[in-house]
């Protein structure tokens, strides 16, 4: 099978932020399953002059490669609904979208994405239930996993290099919780954007997990869900740490017990005080720590690798394909011409951008100001205009390309 992965190679499209999680894990997993895989980098803004050029390039790539499956990780409005619809209606290719952060993102984006792909995969059970209530039968509940390439036998506590480690960006309450640990006398080594040790390569991360007596994970998304409360979700780190042979101490998340035996294969905490108590306890009881690390590793190896996840998704996609009317390869780049014209129409666009950017730049500076303006426009757009936000005519994409 030929699979075209449409996702960003680098985190936030920036090489200095390191390779993107989706690129690191999905592309090799498809290859290990025996599929022919190619990448369309949808995150690199330097490759194209605007989103119109990006979408035209995507159609050209699909036409040249003629994939059986287009596997997307859509972030917001970078791939137009018009382009997705053309691929589905003028080619036999099936489109699947992996939905990230649906604990808060389903309401603002993924519920619209689902109407323009053959299968939308979510890791959030609440989003799956909301989709079912809306009659969106093509939303499939899956979960994050671990790469089989990084599976390694657990390292005994006595041989570990770090007492406690955290790998990830610092946002939300994470800094506060880590500070509480350090204030209690626990040494915590942090790696990632915004931390004292900075970004580390993807190849280094599994060994950090494996050689840490305790690896931390936080379930907060840093965003608000549709109810206005802090969204919590199962993270990829939940599977990666035990898969790499580490001991996972993770913040509680909805339905975590579906995937692990809590206190047998992983350990959870519910508050900063609970985090301190359990961290100190397992540092003082290495034999129990080692037993839980081994059990968690065996569970990941048996049931939670990306090859297993993607095989399940492709099986579900085949069922979808059996019910869809087969389409011949009639796709052309020219078919997107009307959408390109709408996107590049300059009427009032420059005025609106200036009206937004100038006051925000005065408040936040010349670099942060345009990004803040884009964020405000996007938040207003999906709330007021809904699906139009993700079409060629959507104002956030027309006004803000580099900042998106």
Q: How long is the chain?
A: 404
Please name the helix (run of DSSP H) or strand (run of DSSP E) that holds residue 153, with its range, or none. none
Nearest Cα to 118, choosing from 185, 175, 180, 70? 70
Q: How far apart are CA 3 and CA 39, in angstroms?
A: 9
Q: Could you give the dihedral angle defined by the CA atoms of residues 335, 50, 26 and 134, in that order, rounded to the nearest 10 degrees?
A: -70
pLDDT digits (tens, 9 = 90+) for 291-328: 999 999 999 999 999 999 999 999 999 998 888 888 89
pLDDT digits (tens, 9 = 90+) for 67-83: 999 999 999 999 999 99
Contacts of residue 306, Cβ cutoff 8 Å, sequence gap at least 6: 25, 26, 29, 145, 146, 147, 148
At 378, is the secondary structure helix, strand, or coil? Answer: helix
Average pLDDT over residues 267-272: 94
Q: How far apart are CA 60 and CA 133, in angstroms?
A: 37
Nearest Cα to 209, choosing from 164, 262, 251? 164
Largest CA distance in the chain: 69
Q: How far apart are CA 200 and CA 341, in angstroms?
A: 42
Q: How far apart are CA 89 and CA 292, in angstroms?
A: 50
In this structure, are residues 277 and 232 in contact, taking their beta carbons and an 8 Å threshold? Answer: no
In this structure, the number of other CB atoms found within 10 A of the CB of residue 304 comes to 21
Q: Kindly give the residue spans of alpha helices, DSSP state H, lying in 188-305.
A: 205-210, 237-243, 272-284, 286-303
Q: How far apart are CA 182 and CA 272, in angstroms?
A: 11
- What tokens does 270 get? 């519910």
Average pLDDT over residues 333-346: 96
Q: How far apart are CA 226 and CA 121, in angstroms?
A: 19
DSSP 110: I
What pLDDT score was predicted for residue 230?
Answer: 53
In this structure, the number of other CB atoms found within 10 A of the CB of residue 46 comes to 8
Contacts of residue 393, Cβ cutoff 8 Å, sequence gap at least 6: 342, 343
How many whole angstroms from its chain centre is CA 377?
Answer: 22
pLDDT digits (tens, 9 = 90+) for 357-401: 999 999 999 999 999 999 999 999 999 999 999 999 999 999 999
In this structure, are residues 109 and 306 in contact, taking their beta carbons and an 8 Å threshold? Answer: no
Query: Pick the residue with more confidence: 349 or 51?
Result: 51
pLDDT digits (tens, 9 = 90+) for 225-250: 444 445 688 999 999 999 999 999 99
Please name the helix (run of DSSP H) or strand (run of DSSP E) that holds residue 2, with its range, or none. strand 2-7
Q: How far apart are CA 55 and CA 32, in angstroms?
A: 29
- What tokens does 367 get? 């670099």
What pLDDT score was predicted for residue 222?
Answer: 56
Show the domains of the chain with their CATH numbers.
Answer: 2-145+306-341 (3.40.50.2300), 148-303 (3.40.50.2000), 345-399 (no CATH)
Contacts of residue 29, Cβ cutoff 8 Å, sequence gap at least 6: 147, 148, 305, 306, 307, 309, 310
Contacts of residue 388, Cβ cutoff 8 Å, sequence gap at least 6: 381, 394
What pLDDT score was predicted for residue 223?
Answer: 56
At 277, is the secondary structure helix, strand, or coil? Answer: helix
pLDDT digits (tens, 9 = 90+) for 158-186: 999 999 999 988 887 888 999 999 999 99
Please check the confidence at residue 221 and state whether its pLDDT lies above 80: no
Contacts of residue 404, Cβ cutoff 8 Å, sequence gap at least 6: 45, 51, 76, 77, 78, 374, 396, 397
- What tokens does 207 get? 């060994």
In the block, residue with structure tokens 């999906």:
382
In the block, residue with structure tokens 């027309």:
398
Q: How far apart are CA 364 and CA 371, in angstroms?
A: 9
In the block, residue with structure tokens 């997705």:
84
What pLDDT score was predicted for residue 225?
Answer: 44
């Amino acid at each position: 099978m030929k699979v075209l992965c449409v996702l960003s190679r680098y985190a936030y499209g920036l090489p200095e932020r390191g390779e993107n999680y989706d690129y690191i894990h999905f592309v090799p997993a498809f290859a290990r399953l025996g599929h022919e895989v190619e990448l369309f980098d949808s995150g690199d803004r330097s490759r194209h002059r605007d989103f119109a050029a990006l979408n035209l390039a995507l159609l050209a790539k699909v036409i040249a490669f003629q994939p059986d499956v287009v596997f997307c990780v859509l972030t917001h409005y970078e791939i137009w609904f018009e382009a997705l619809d053309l691929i589905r209606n003028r080619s036999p290719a099936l489109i699947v979208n992996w939905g990230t952060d649906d604990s808060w993102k389903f309401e603002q984006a993924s519920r619209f994405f689902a109407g323009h792909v053959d299968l939308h995969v979510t890791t959030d059970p609440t989003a799956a239930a909301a989709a079912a209530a809306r009659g969106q039968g093509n939303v499939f509940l899956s979960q994050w996993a671990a790469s089989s390439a990084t599976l390694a036998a657990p390292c005994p506590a006595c041989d570990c290099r770090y007492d406690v480690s955290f790998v990830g960006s610092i946002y939300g309450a994470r800094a506060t919780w880590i500070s509480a640990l350090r204030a209690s006398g626990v040494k915590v080594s942090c790696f990632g954007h915004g931390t004292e040790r900075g970004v580390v390569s993807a190849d280094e991360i599994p060994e950090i997990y494996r050689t840490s007596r305790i690896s931390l994970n936080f379930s907060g998304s840093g965003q608000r869900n549709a109810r206005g409360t802090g969204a919590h979700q199962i993270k990829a780190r939940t599977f990666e740490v035990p898969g790499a042979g580490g001991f996972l101490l993770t913040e509680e998340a909805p339905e975590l017990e579906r995937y692990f035996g809590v206190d047998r294969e992983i350990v959870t905490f519910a508050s900063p005080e609970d985090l301190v108590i359990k961290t100190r306890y397992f540092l003082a009881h290495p034999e129990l720590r080692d037993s839980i690390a081994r059990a968690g590793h065996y569970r990941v190896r048996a049931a939670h690798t990306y090859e297993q996840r993607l095989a399940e998704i492709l099986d579900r996609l085949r069922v979808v394909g059996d019910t869809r009317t087969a389409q011949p390869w009639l796709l052309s780049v020219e078919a997107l011409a009307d959408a390109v014209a709408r996107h590049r129409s300059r009427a009032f666009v420059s005025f609106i951008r200036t009206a937004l950017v100038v006051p925000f730049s005065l408040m936040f500076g010349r670099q942060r100001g345009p990004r803040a303006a884009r964020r405000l426009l996007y938040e207003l757009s999906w709330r007021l205009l809904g699906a139009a936000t993700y079409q060629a005519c959507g104002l956030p994409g027309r006004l803000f390309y580099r900042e998106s």
